[in-house]
Amino acid sequence: MLADETLEEQVRRRYRQPKGVEQFGIELIPDRLKTVRWFDLFLIVVNFLINPGTILISGLAVASGFSFTEAVASQVLGVLVAFSAYVAMATIGADYGVPGQVATRMAYGRRGATWGPSLLRTAASIYWFAFQTVAGSMAVVAVLDKWLGGQHSLFWVSIIFAALQVVVALVGYGSLKVLSRFAFPLKLVVFAYLFVLLASQGGPNFAPASVGAYPGMPGPHWLLFATWLNGAAAAWLTMITDAADFCRYSRTRLDMWLGTLGAAAVGTTLGAALGGYAAPGTLGRTANPFEVVAQMSTSGLTVLLVFVVIAFDNWTINVLNLYTGGLSLSNIAERLGRFWTTLAVSVLGVALSAVPDVVNGYTGYMNVLGNIFAPMAGVLIADYVVLKRTRVDVVTLFEPGGPCWYWRGFGVAAIGWTVLGFVIYLAVPMAWLPTAVTPIVTGIGYYVTVRLLSARFPTLARAGRPGEQRESVEGLDQELVLRRSPGPVREAY
């Protein structure tokens, strides 16, 4: 058995990657490197959820007519809906050390996963990176304009801000842990300061009682609530194919569950509460809480703290956007290492950050992505949790002609139900929460289809049943490094 250090060095040389960065891309994480406990995972995910984007979204929800309570509740419930599916798929990372995009081969096939989930997730990562960068840059510009006077260029602030975030993502998972340990306590201190500042210096409208009593626009809000909840759920469902990426260094499945679900509840509540608190004080006229703070105080301490929280917010979420985007691209371009695919995604993300309109189309973009990722979530959960009962032979994810090869590398049943789910999503009224309904319908449809067709198609029958591990992770990784495919299973199909 190869030592982990030797294996990592072989991976580095295979892809010609720099030393000192994470080397593993589509390769599995050896058991001896799976040492991350629940609190480190909690810090990584909670920092991902507390970011300028989620803060701004809550303010935009109030500006659209919500009360403070409705704005926070729509975001929290939307994320929890998505994370119920997210955590289910994260188990494959904790159990097997498999990256999420490789895991999608279970249902979509090797080629189907490449040109379906991986391509879509790469595009979503680039969009999310640009969205978060522009949202953070808007906050920076608001503070600079108030503090220094004049008008600062959102274009150049976005470009510089984006470029500074690339470095940590290129280093990899280790840098995420270190950054998260510093960022979260600092964010808590700054958030506490900003809440006190808003409540004490903003006037009567910013008092806690006034913010809590702010009614929003007159009339019933269910359709509006469903729209924003659906948008929040759709946004995080786009992460379902990356769930295993964050958890593949986890020590146990319990560490993954505690860290991920705890972070979802805490992170979304804190981020949404700050954005939702500032907007009611302006009667919904100003959605950006950092702009409200900048108008309220120009003291050196306030400006410094706002800069710090914006910088750490953007780094912690956008590092993960680039990291997962790089792993997604690695599943497409297997002969490029994780470092190089992350660099490619970074270049595209920085370029898109020069387009401020990516913020204005948030709900539209998220609903389009939800149209695709919602049925994909249903298919993946039905396949991994129900059909395979969370037991996978990871060799089959890599071997040509094996159970996950399906029809010329494409899982036709999974692709077909994803397309049908796209249509179903469009047909479901917004008030019925299509992001929740669509995965259930497509998951049931996929399960029934596989069961009915398994008797006629032996390949589908083999792929749709629980697997048992046939080879060590180190042995499989060595074959991947040497570009030898695992031998196909000797069975007629």
Dist CA 248 CA 217 (whole Å) = 45
Question: For residues 37 and 20, which has the higher predicted lDDT (pLDDT)?
Answer: 37
φ/ψ of 491, rounded to 5, equals -150, 140
How large is the average pLDDT for residues 110-123?
A: 90
Residue 486 has pLDDT above 60, yes or no: no
pLDDT of residue 490: 38
Q: How many CB atoms lie within 10 A of CB 376?
A: 30
One-letter amino acid of 365: Y
Q: Token match 């695992």: residue?
A: 486
Within 13 Å of residue 317, how many CA atoms lie on the same side as its CB? 32
Residue 211 has pLDDT above 90, yes or no: no
How large is the average pLDDT for residues 60-65?
A: 86
Strand partners, 410: 407
Question: For residues 29 and 134, which has the higher predicted lDDT (pLDDT)?
Answer: 29
| Most confidently predicted of 145-149, 265-269, 292-296 | 265-269
Dist CA 136 CA 320 (whole Å) = 16
User: Token pair for residue 167?
Assistant: 């470095």
Dist CA 443 CA 379 (whole Å) = 5
Of 90, 75, 135, 138, the residue nearest 267 (C-alpha): 75
pLDDT of residue 417: 96
Length, in residues, of the chain: 493
How large is the average pLDDT for residues 454-474?
A: 79
How large is the average pLDDT for residues 428-453?
A: 91
Residue 406 has pLDDT above 80, yes or no: yes
How large is the average pLDDT for residues 277-289?
A: 82
How large is the average pLDDT for residues 46-61?
A: 81
Contact 450, 386 (CB under 8 A): no
Dist CA 235 CA 362 (whole Å) = 9
Strand partners, 407: 410
pLDDT of residue 385: 93
DSSP string spanning 124-182? Answer: HHHHHHHHHHHHHHHHHHHHHHHHH-S---HHHHHHHHHHHHHHHHHH-HHHHHHHHHH
Task: Classify 250 as helix, strand or coil.
Answer: strand
How large is the average pLDDT for residues 310-337?
A: 84
The domains located in the chain, with CATH, are 24-360 (1.10.4160.10)
pLDDT of residue 376: 93
Of 482, 489, 467, 491, the residue nearest 98 (C-alpha): 467
Residue 483 has pLDDT above 70, yes or no: no
pLDDT of residue 91: 92
- CA–CA–CA angle 446, 448, 452 (5° rounding): 120
- CA–CA–CA angle 206, 207, 212 (5° rounding): 90
Dist CA 41 CA 259 (whole Å) = 5
pLDDT of residue 479: 67
Burial of 253 (0-12, 13-18, 19+ CB in 10 A): middle
Residue 161 has pLDDT above 60, yes or no: yes
Strand partners, 250: 36
Quick one: residue 311, left, alpha or beta (phi over 0 = left, psi -120 to 50 = alpha)?
alpha
Q: How large a percentage of the chain has pLDDT more than 70?
A: 89
pTM of the model: 0.81
Of 378, 246, 384, the residue nearest 320 (C-alpha): 246
Question: For residues 156 and 454, which has the higher predicted lDDT (pLDDT)?
Answer: 454
pLDDT of residue 193: 87
Residue 316 has pLDDT above 90, yes or no: no
User: Token pair for residue 110?
Assistant: 């090797």
pLDDT of residue 493: 34
